């Protein structure tokens, strides 16, 4: 068996393990939905509204693929990854605007 084939089989095994963990998490999710709540005892609300909040398999799969292929580009983002990317973009725009304000201030121009 070549080293490349070994790593391919190792990646497949890890993906299989993630699928098994997802099945276990799904069972826990179903058990949890009956029991877990937040809020007061008079007005309980479910702790998780979506399964992806409980177990995000997309993020786990992306991490496995990235560990085997440094050039891997995910086809889909997990909700957490997309939220993080949006926050990074907002922060980048904010910093650019602050830099523009500083440059205008140095030139003596109004905002």
| pLDDT tens digits along 41-89 | 888 888 777 777 777 788 888 888 889 988 887 777 767 777 888 898 9
Model confidence at 110, pLDDT cuts 50, 70, 90, reads low
Share of the chain above pLDDT 90, in %: 32
End-to-end CA distance of the chain: 66
Model confidence at 34, pLDDT cuts 50, 70, 90, reads low
- What's the mean per-residue pLDDT of the chain? 84
* H and E: helices and strands count for the chain: 4, 2
Residue 109 confidence (pLDDT): 67
CA distance 5 to 21: 24
The token duo for 41 is 């005892």
- Output the pTM of the full model: 0.45
The token duo for 59 is 């993020």
Residue 111 confidence (pLDDT): 57
Model confidence at 39, pLDDT cuts 50, 70, 90, reads confident
CA distance 94 to 106: 18
Model confidence at 6, pLDDT cuts 50, 70, 90, reads very high
């Amino acid at each position: 068996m070549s080293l490349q084939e070994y790593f391919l089989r190792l990646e497949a095994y890890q993906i299989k393990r993630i699928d098994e963990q997802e099945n276990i998490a799904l069972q826990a999710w179903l058990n949890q939905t009956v029991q877990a709540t937040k809020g007061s005892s008079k007005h309980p609300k479910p702790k998780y509204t979506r399964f992806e909040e409980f177990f995000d398999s997309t993020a786990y799969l992306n991490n496995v693929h990235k560990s085997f292929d440094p050039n891997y580009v995910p086809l889909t983002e997990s909700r957490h990854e997309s939220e993080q990317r949006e926050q990074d973009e907002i922060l980048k725009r904010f910093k650019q605007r602050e830099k523009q304000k500083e440059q205008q201030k140095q030139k003596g121009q109004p905002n």
